[in-house]
Amino acid sequence: MKKVLKALQIKNINNGVSTGVDSWAGSGKVLSSYSPVDGELIGKVRQATKDDYEKVITKAEEAYKIWREVPAPKRGEIVRQMGEALRANKDNLGRLVSYEMGKSLQEGWGEVQEMIDICDFAVGLSRQLYGLSMHSERLQHRMYEQWHPLGIVGIISAFNFPVAVWSWNAMLAWVCGDVCVWKPSEKTPLSAIACQHIIQAVLRNNNVPEGISGLIVGDREVGEWLSNDTRVPLVSATGSTRMGKAVGQAVAGRLGRSLLELGGNNAIIVTENADLQIVIPAVVFGAVGTAGQRCTTTRRLILHENIYEDVKNRLVKIYSQLRIGDPLDTNNHVGPLIDTDAVNNYQTAIEKVKAEGGNILFGNEVLSGEAYQSGCYVKPTIVEVTTQTPMVCHETFAPILYLIKYSTLDEAIALQNGVPQGLSSAIFTLNMREAEQFLSANGSDCGIANVNIGTSGAEIGGAFGGEKETGGGRESGSDSWKNYMRRQTNTINYSTQLPLAQGIKFDI
């Protein structure tokens, strides 16, 4: 890991304080990053003070005045170079993400690939920031709309995707002409620092202001500064529903914009017409990938009564064969939870659902021994429930899968929708009518609804986000770029008269 850190220009590891680049180095309390893989200290960084925050915002304001004037395709060219720089650093950055966050190495590399993909998407987008042309009701008038950048975009990201979700926002914001100030999770600061080194090198090579990309390491107080700052017109926040409600209220209180990507309590419906050969791997990956720490993790499995016992038995057998251990070892399927607090939440959730009548089919164990010395490794758990109790309706960021039996598709969809969250959902069926019902207005109420693929693993080409307590935000593909710009309607009168709309007469 020392070679990886050196390659990513993160210095003074385990011996002093890594302060990164001068443009954002904090002067506050020291924050230590420990790996959930082995419990070892990876490095330290100084957090930002309010004075440090003000310096970053001031630099961002100055950079925005220059960046907004750069033609969008030229902004896209710089983002293209960022994608190339990420390609060159994919192996090392993926390893750091895996080690600092605890996800499998394949997922760490996949996260960096997601960053590369969004760069490619943003490059094309830089030539497609289209506005509409509309016919005016008035003679010799032309009416159209255009899109302008907003200014500073504040980005608050979570530990489970320590770099990818930031890139979803930043790359689109940059081609739209905005500048970004990033507050990464305090649980994964070094992955963010590595990204900042990569991006700043590209900015320097293109002789554009470093304030285009700001980074502020700190705790929730930094998020509160961003949320309450009128100089930051948009705050994009990814995390828990509790956090999102606080951000949303603060930003709304100053009539700013917020883009919220919050909790998920995602379900897969499996009908009696499903192909179980693809159901099982989809469910297992969705439930145990990233040790259940994805917002799109499969947490509920709603099974038709005719196939319930078959699927249940298959899952228990496969869960018993899962390899749990060091995520940098590609032979392992499941890595650790992020920290011991997450382990406590896992244990508490299982005890509560047992008290509510849940039957533990597999798991419910914190692993110990030399291979699990960090204390963050748990067995993925399967719980059989007869109804959606309060604990089933609650999102627990851990690998706990609830099995629920149903009789009719209407009943299954009602169960699917019967939780406060509305992010991702899926149905497995070879019956066209069942699939179409699930996708209809009377079907899934989630922002993502899939047929014959699982809840986890969204592509960057589609808008990502959900409804209800998931926050209603949309990031990444489709027309999500409009979140980062302001719409302006323009009417041009090229006649010699001044006709008023709606035929109004005003003679003077």
**Other CB atoms within 10 Å distance of the CB of residue 3:** 9
Tokens matching residue 93: 């950055």
> How are the residues of the chain apportioned to helix, strand and coil, as percentages rounded to the nearest 5?
40, 20, 40
Residues forming beta bridges with residue 145, ordered by sequence position: 489
- 3-class SS of residue 368: coil
> In b/e form, how buried is each residue of 457-482, taking b as 16+ CB within 10 angstroms?
ebebeebbbbbbbbbbbbbbbeebbe
Any alpha helices (H) in 298-457, and if so which ranges? Answer: 308-319, 340-355, 409-417, 432-439
Which of 23, 460, 5 shows the shortest CA–CA distance to 203?
Answer: 23
Q: List, in sequence order, every residue forming a beta bridge with 182; answer none if it has no partner.
A: 155, 215
Please tell me whether residue 194 adopts helix, strand or coil conformation: helix
427 neighbors 438 (Cβ within 8 angstroms): yes
Q: Let me know if 261 is a catalytic residue.
A: yes
Other beta carbons within 10 Å of 355: 10
Q: Which of 100, 111, 261, 395 is catalytic?
A: 261
| Single-letter code of the amino acid located at 402 | Y
Rounded to whole angstroms, how far apart are CA atoms 338 and 293? 8
Q: Which residue, chain included where needed, has tokens 């399967």?
A: 382
The answer to whether the Cα torsion of 297, 301, 307, 310 is positive or negative is positive
d(CA 140, CA 496): 9
Question: What whole-number distance in Å separates Cα of residue 433 and Cα of residue 446?
Answer: 19
Token pair of 229 as six digits: 């700052």
Q: Which residue in 368, 370, 241 sits closest to 295, CA to CA? A: 241
d(Cα 298, Cα 294) in Å, to the nearest integer? 9
Phi, psi of 71 (to 5 degrees): -55, 140
Helix 432-439 vs helix 409-417: angle between axes, to the nearest 10 degrees? 30
Helix (H, G, I), strand (E, B) or coil at 14: coil
Compute CA distances 407 → 55, 180, 399, 412, whole Å. 60, 50, 26, 8
Catalytic residues, by residue number, are: 261
